[in-house]
Amino acid sequence: MRTIAEYNPFAVTVYFLAVAGTTMFSMNPVILVLSLAGALSYFFVRNGFREMKSHLAFFLMFLFMALLNPLISHNGVTVLFVMNNNPVTLEALVYGIAAAAMILAVLYWFRSYSQIMTSDKLLYVFGVLSPRLALILSMAIRYVPLFGSQVKKVNQAQKALGLYKEDNLVDSFRGGVRVFSVMVTWALENGIITADSMTARGYGSGKRSHYSTFCFRRGDWILMGISCVLLIVTWIGLGDFTFNYYPALKVSALQKTGLIGCISYGLLAFLPVIIEEKETLKWNCLQSKI
């Protein structure tokens, strides 16, 4: 089976930029609902119903952002009620829900993207644009887990030496400051060692060679083509289907082009799920023939 994670990283990046970019630059509620539904569907298809605490945190963040906008923005003509002499309007509430849905959808899209794109894939994608940027990015990604594991080691060493106790707030703060000081020294020293090692191996002294285990296949070109076509059709269709939040909620009549644009983005948002399910059905069919 070839899932979307096994496609060429550049083709996968083009797809995620198309689907998430449309979400970021559109406040059309139909697009936002389709984007959020597609992002959640693909995330659950890929990961199942694990990490429910993180989903609860995202849901609480959605409620907070949705309710915050009508409390700080009082634009709109439909007043629901008055709080502290400030009107809470329906338009501000709907806009807050739409903005929260947009942010939540983008977060879930990039959460799935971060699971798919490993450091070598990111190095491949950014290496096409800027080899130096790709190197810096891959090194930064590598140092994030190293930094976290080193913090745990230093913290455990501090506790083993009896320098502070967990139940004492002052000692915990002092221990945290010591750990931070140690980690700053460790990061600077490790950076110097890495730079000296690269210099000793001749980095930057000659013509840069390039090696990659990724190649373009027909499916990768098809994925990029479908993503670009659906993106163009979506933006053309959205031009005839507008939604205004202020001063009053107003939606334009849904014309044929607008309907085609919504259907196009729906296909774009659910494309990873379609690919995953197609491959699953294909695999089950092949197993049944054995």
Q: pLDDT by residue for the chain (290 residues), tens digit each?
A: 567 888 888 899 999 999 999 999 888 899 999 999 999 999 988 887 776 777 888 889 899 988 888 888 888 888 888 888 888 888 889 999 999 999 999 999 998 998 888 777 877 887 766 777 777 777 776 777 788 888 888 888 877 777 666 666 777 777 778 888 888 888 888 888 887 887 887 776 766 666 667 788 888 899 999 999 999 999 998 887 888 888 888 888 778 888 898 999 999 999 998 888 887 777 777 677 76
d(CA 227, CA 17): 9
3-state secondary structure the chain: CCCHHHCCHHHHHHHHHHHHHHHHCCCCHHHHHHHHHHHHHHHHHHHCCCCHHHHHHHHHHHHHHHHHHHHHCCCCCCEEEEECCEEEEHHHHHHHHHHHHHHHHHHHHHHHHHHHCCHHHHHHHHHHHCHHHHHHHHHHHHHHHHHHHHHHHHHHHHHHCCCCCCCCHHHHHHHHHHHHHHHHHHHHHHHHHHHHHHHHCCCCCCCCCCCCCCCCCHHHHHHHHHHHHHHHHHHHHHCCCCEECCCCCEECCCCHHHHHHHHHHHHHHCHHHHHHHHHHHHHHHHHHCC
Q: pTM of the prediction?
A: 0.74
Question: Facing residues of 87 across strands?
Answer: 82
